Amino acid sequence: MSPLETLRIAFRAIRANLLRSALTMLGIIIGVAAVITMVALGTGAQRQVAEQIRSLGSNLLLIQPGSPNQGGARLGTGARPTLTEEDAAAIAREVPEVVVAVPTMSGAGHIVQGNLNWSTLVGGITPGYLTARDWRVETGREFTLEEVETAAKVVLLGRTVADILFPGDDPLGRQVRLANTPFTVIGVLASKGQVAAAGRDQDDTVLIPLSTAKLRVLGANRLSRTLVDFLLVKVTTDEAIGPAQQQIRQLLRQRHRLAEGVEDDFRIGEPFAAMEARAASTRSLTYLLAAIASVSLVVGGISIMNIMLVSVTERTREIGLRQALGARRRNLLNQFLVEATTLCVLGGVVGVLVGIAAAFGIGAMAGWPIWVSPASVILAVVFSGAIGVFFGFYPAHKASRLDPIQALRFE
């Protein structure tokens, strides 16, 4: 008998007892729906965090002046400045795990274009900054080394600033005034989007060469020409963060001539460590919830087995008749096995649909991101099928072992 034939018989049996079949499937439906919902919510949250981290720049270390125990100091307004451009150069040179080390200054700035003006965050950077932040120039170009060395009056606009100062216009090559100094726009940065976790619009910023910033915009009341606000260091991989941190600390202590026992005059932090930790805990919570939900799948499987046993008993005479008409053990085994598996797969498919609907419902109500991965859907359906085979086997085996005459005479 062909598989299609067996499937047809299974569908007929399921249809013949529609209400019972539906109730039998309920366990599987609920189990699968629960797993799909949990995984969709969990994966959605995970992807959101991962997306945020990616947009801020991954594998970053932030080195700020001040003692590690000081705490509370914020970017740019740090304690007594201690970090220099040379520190950055030394880190890049001597710590192998470091991809780039960028000395950076930042501060508020007022930018004017025609009769439009805007207050924004001004970053004084070297070319490595964009690499560190995984940031692209959308139109135009980056700073050249020469521009950095000669303190050229050129500026890169964040998307938001470009939109405000040049509504519906191409800002490339145009002039803006920053701290009363004319700057030429050489490029517009790609949008990083609104990152809630970062606390502010990443695109509301302008970048100028570090040298220019010191000379003309942010350097006015700074103590020294070589000091910077902070260093941004990008390391090769996630695993390299720890070792790199150790080596940088050694190097800076040495460079700052800090004696044994004197505390650091800088702090090394992972700006997004908290977010990464959140991503990790979300991930484990997702797996935990999915595991709990899949227990109900096993319960669903047991109810399938129960119903199939009842069904085999009810259909004992049918089994006897089929044997009289030439059904072999394999035919009967397949018939009941396919029936149980079909029930479970149908339940799985319905469960997936219910689960997706529930996930989007919850997501819409709570404002959470949802992500239904195709893998989770396929896995859920395949797993339901496996449950059908596993829990359907015993009843099917029982059916196939019935003695023909006893089955046919069964009352």
Q: Point out which residues bind other proteins (CB under 8 A).
A: 1-2, 5, 12-13, 16, 317-318, 320-331, 404-405, 408
Give the dihedral of Cα atoms 328, 331, 335, 336; nearest 10 deg. Answer: 50
Name the minimum Å distance from CB 16 to other proteins.
5
Name the minimum Å distance from CB 394 to other proteins.
19
Closest to other proteins by CB, 149 vs 314, is 314
Rounded-to-integer distance, Cα 25 and Cα 36, Å:
16
**Helix, strand or coil, per DSSP, at residue 328:** coil
Name the minimum Å distance from CB 387 to other proteins.
25
Name the minimum Å distance from CB 294 to other proteins.
34
Spacing of C-alpha 399 from chain mean position = 49
* Amino acid letter, 8: R
**Cβ-Cβ contacts under 8 Å for 268 (sequence gap 6 or more):** 61, 62, 63, 245, 248, 249
Name the minimum Å distance from CB 193 to other proteins.
58
- Read off the tokens for 264: 């650091």
Q: Between β-strands 98-113 and 175-178, what pairing exists: parallel, antiparallel or unpaired? A: antiparallel
Closest CA to 387 of 5, 36, 27: 27
DSSP state of 148: H
**Helix, strand or coil, per DSSP, at residue 383:** helix
Closest to other proteins by CB, 13 vs 176, is 13
Closest CA to 245 of 95, 382, 121, 388: 95
Name the minimum Å distance from CB 328 to other proteins.
4
Residue 44 burial (CB < 10 Å; 0-12/13-18/19+)? buried
Spacing of C-alpha 200 from chain mean position = 20
Name the minimum Å distance from CB 390 to other proteins.
25
Closest to other proteins by CB, 66 vs 320, is 320
Name the minimum Å distance from CB 54 to other proteins.
56
Name the minimum Å distance from CB 15 to other proteins.
9
Closest to other proteins by CB, 54 vs 329, is 329
Closest to other proteins by CB, 2 vs 221, is 2
Rounded-to-integer distance, Cα 220 and Cα 215, Å:
7
Each as own residue / partner, the long-range contacts of residues 302-305 (CB below 8 Å, 24 or more positions apart, any chain) are 302/27, 302/391, 303/24, 303/26, 303/27, 304/24, 304/27, 304/28, 304/340, 304/343, 304/344, 304/387, 304/388, 304/391, 304/392, 305/340, 305/391, 305/392, 305/394, 305/395
Closest to other proteins by CB, 70 vs 316, is 316
DSSP calls for 7-41: HHHHHHHHHHTHHHHHHHHHHHHHHHHHHHHHHHH
Name the minimum Å distance from CB 402 to other proteins.
11
Tell me the CB-side half-sphere exposure of residue 136, using CA atoms within 13 A. 8
Rounded-to-integer distance, Cα 211 and Cα 220, Å:
12
Closest to other proteins by CB, 261 vs 326, is 326
Closest to other proteins by CB, 93 vs 328, is 328
Closest to other proteins by CB, 286 vs 334, is 334
Closest to other proteins by CB, 326 vs 367, is 326
